[in-house]
Structure 1
Amino acid sequence: MSRNICITAVDGHTGYSIAEFILSHDNLKKKVGTITGLALKPQSQHAKDLAKLGVKIVPHKPGRMKEMVNAMKSTGADAVCLIPPAHQDKVEITQELIEATKRANIPNVCFISSAGCDLADPQKQPRLREFIELETLVLSAKGDTSTETGHSPVVIRPGFYAENLLLYAPQLLEEKTIPLPIGESHKFAPMAIKDLANVAANVLTGKGKHGFSDKHRGQLMVLTGPLLCAGKELATAASQSLGEELEFEDISENEAKKVLQTQSDLDPSELQYLLEYYSLVREGKTNYISTTAFHDVTGQHPLEPPEFFKEASEQLKAHAKNGKNGHQSKKRKTEE
């Protein structure tokens, strides 16, 4: 029997990547009957691209529990990938999604959390710490006899996406620097978003007698990239792949915030999340790698930073071009 999957926040990078990964790999695609994507912005490019691939896009309208439950039931899904959206009301929206999943009686739940949430300080890194609260809500369904949800849970905690480094494309390509507020000495292990998509796709399509595959069911999977990097080592990896001599620049959090606000269209909550993750690095709380789950689930090796930069070189140039156009547009508006 084919697995019917519902993925939330498919208009975001994570949801899009997971759905696209399943549909672009025949060994996974053949295990799936339908994929339904819930989208806060159903007219976004990600949602439109997935619709072309055969994903049924359902508008996600928060705030109406009954409608949310009906929407979940209408998908016919027996597995849901719950992804907190990049939204200022992320916690409230995700709480509602978790409750709707329980009321819709969907048995298999894969929740996408965040590495480092367990080490985050509620006062210093509140956006990161929120994931602990949400994980608890998902896992507490295990003891709720009124619903099948929680019968087969998986929680995945992906680390810092290497793609976030592309937000600094103008600095990388024009100023030959990687400006990050991470300090000089502490390290972190950036991972490619497609590696998270690979693990989540295998979990969502895996089957066992109790729902998800017994290899995955009940697991808390922490994912990072395979190489610990301080800023200078990251610059070295980028230099090798891009054929340019890049240097790391340790900048202040305020400067990082200004750069991200200028060069990206990140939701403010997502921007705060990034700044909080950088602060975890500065505190020495990310000096570890966690690749065992990736190896066990996929049988492969996660992408190394030099390989990531090599694959991302064209994307970097596109980012830089868009960034330049964006600056010109903002300048014109100011002059007007």
Structure 2
Amino acid sequence: MSRNIAITAVDGHTGSAIAKYILEHDQFKKKVGTITGLALKVTSPQAKELGKLGVKIVAHKPGKMREMVKLMQSTGADTVCLIPPVHQDKYDITVELIEATKKAGIPNVCFISSAGCDLADPQKQPHLRQFIELESMFMSAKGDSETETGHSPVVIRAGFYAENLLLYAAQMMEEQTIPLPIGESHKFAPMAMQDLAQVAANVLTGKGKHGFSDKHRGQLMVLTGPMMCAGNELATAASQALGMELEFEDISEAEARKVLKAQSDLDPSELQYLLEYYSLVREGKTNYISTTAFHDVTGQHPTEPPEFFKQHQQQLGVKEEEQHPSKKRKTNGS
């Protein structure tokens, strides 16, 4: 029997990446009947693209629980990938989604959380810490005899997306620097978004006698990239992949905020989340890798940083003829 999947926040990068991964790989696509995407912005590029690929896009209008439950039931989904949306009211919207999923009685639910949330300080990294509260609400459905939801739960804590580094493409190309507010010595392990999408695709389409595959059901999976990098090591990895000499520049949080505001159209809540994660790096709380779940679920190895940068050469504006190690760093008078 085919699985009918609803994915929230498909107008964002994470939701759209998961939906596309399922549709673009036959081993997952053949297990799926329908995919419904809930979108706060149905006209977003991601939602439009998924619509063309066959995803049924429905408008997500938060604020009325009864309507939200009806919407969840109308999708005909037996499986939900619950992704907190990029929105200033992310927390409240996600609480409503969790509750609506429970009331709709959808049995299989995979919640996409954030790696590092368990180490975040409620005062210093409040947006990051909220994921712990959301996880608790999500998991509380287990054991609730009044709903089918909770019988087959999975939580995936996704690490820092390497794609966030592409927000600094202008500095990388113009000044040959990677400017990050992470300090000089502490490390983190950026992961490729497609690696999360691959794990999520396996979970959402896996089947066992209780819903999700018994290999996945009830698991708390923490995903990071496979390589811990300090800023200079990240620059070395990018240099090798792009054939140009890049250097890491440790900048202040204020400067990082300014750069991100100037160079991206990030939602303010997403900008704050990024800055909080960087502060977690500065505190030395991200000096670890967590790749066991990725290996167990996929049987493969996650994307290494040099490989990631090679895959995104075009996005960084690097032309093939420019890729040679002799390209030197521009001087800017410093």
Q: TM-score, structure 2 length as denominator?
A: 0.95
After TM superposition, list the pairs within 5 Å mapping 1:44-123 onto structure 2: 44-123=44-123
Q: For 2:37, what is the secondary structure of its paired residue? A: strand
The answer for the alignment partner of 1:145 in structure 2 is: 145
After TM superposition, list the pairs within 5 Å mapping 1:1-336 onto structure 2: 1-317=1-317
Q: Deviations over 1:215-272 (max 9, x none)?
A: 0000000000000000000000000011110000000000000000110111111000
CA distance in 2 between partners of 1:307 and 1:89 (Å): 35
Q: Which runs of 5+ in 1 are unaligned?
A: 319-336
CA distance in 1 between partners of 2:5 and 2:299 (Å): 23
- RMSD over equivalenced CA pairs, Å: 0.6
Q: Which runs of 5+ in 2 are unaligned?
A: 319-334
CA distance in 1 between partners of 2:264 and 2:85 (Å): 17
Q: Deviations over 1:26-46 (max 9, x none)?
A: 000000000000000001110
Q: For 2:41, what is the secondary structure of its paired residue? A: coil
Q: For 2:216, what is the secondary structure of its paired residue? A: coil
CA distance in 2 between partners of 1:43 and 1:301 (Å): 35
Structure 1 runs (4+) greater than 6 angstroms displaced: none
AA partner of residue 304 (structure 2): E
AA partner of residue 56 (structure 1): K
Q: Deviations over 1:313-334 (max 9, x none)?
A: 101129xxxxxxxxxxxxxxxx
Q: For 1:157, what is the secondary structure of its paired residue? A: strand
Q: For 1:142, what is the secondary structure of its paired residue? A: coil
CA distance in 1 between partners of 2:71 and 2:59 (Å): 9
AA partner of residue 271 (structure 1): L
Q: Deviations over 1:145-164 (max 9, x none)?
A: 11000010000001100000
CA distance in 2 between partners of 1:153 and 1:168 (Å): 36
Q: For 2:5, what is the secondary structure of its paired residue? A: strand
Q: Deviations over 1:11-55 (max 9, x none)?
A: 000000000000000000000000000000001110000001000
Q: For 1:179, what is the secondary structure of its paired residue? A: strand
**What displacement does 1:285 show?**
0.3
CA distance in 1 between partners of 2:37 and 2:172 (Å): 34
Q: Deviations over 1:126-156 (max 9, x none)?
A: 0000000000011000021110000100000
AA partner of residue 213 (structure 2): S
Q: Deviations over 1:98-139 (max 9, x none)?
A: 010011100001000000000000000000000000000110
CA distance in 1 between partners of 2:201 and 2:158 (Å): 14
Q: Deviations over 1:168-191 (max 9, x none)?
A: 000000100000000000000000
Q: For 1:61, what is the secondary structure of its paired residue? A: coil
CA distance in 2 between partners of 1:60 and 1:267 (Å): 18
AA partner of residue 124 (structure 2): K
AA partner of residue 13 (structure 1): H
Q: Deviations over 1:40-82 (max 9, x none)?
A: 0001110000001000000000001111111100100000000
AA partner of residue 193 (structure 1): M
CA distance in 2 between partners of 1:263 and 1:3 (Å): 40
Q: For 2:185, what is the secondary structure of its paired residue? A: coil
**What displacement does 1:205 show?**
0.3
Q: For 1:145, what is the secondary structure of its paired residue? A: coil
CA distance in 2 between partners of 1:277 and 1:143 (Å): 33
CA distance in 2 between partners of 1:124 and 1:170 (Å): 29
The answer for the alignment partner of 2:332 in structure 1 is: none
Q: Percent identity?
A: 81
**What displacement does 1:202 show?**
0.5
The answer for the alignment partner of 1:332 in structure 2 is: none
CA distance in 2 between partners of 1:156 and 1:315 (Å): 27
CA distance in 2 between partners of 1:193 and 1:4 (Å): 23
Q: Deviations over 1:283-305 (max 9, x none)?
A: 00000000000000011100000
CA distance in 2 between partners of 1:184 and 1:213 (Å): 43
The aligned length equals 318
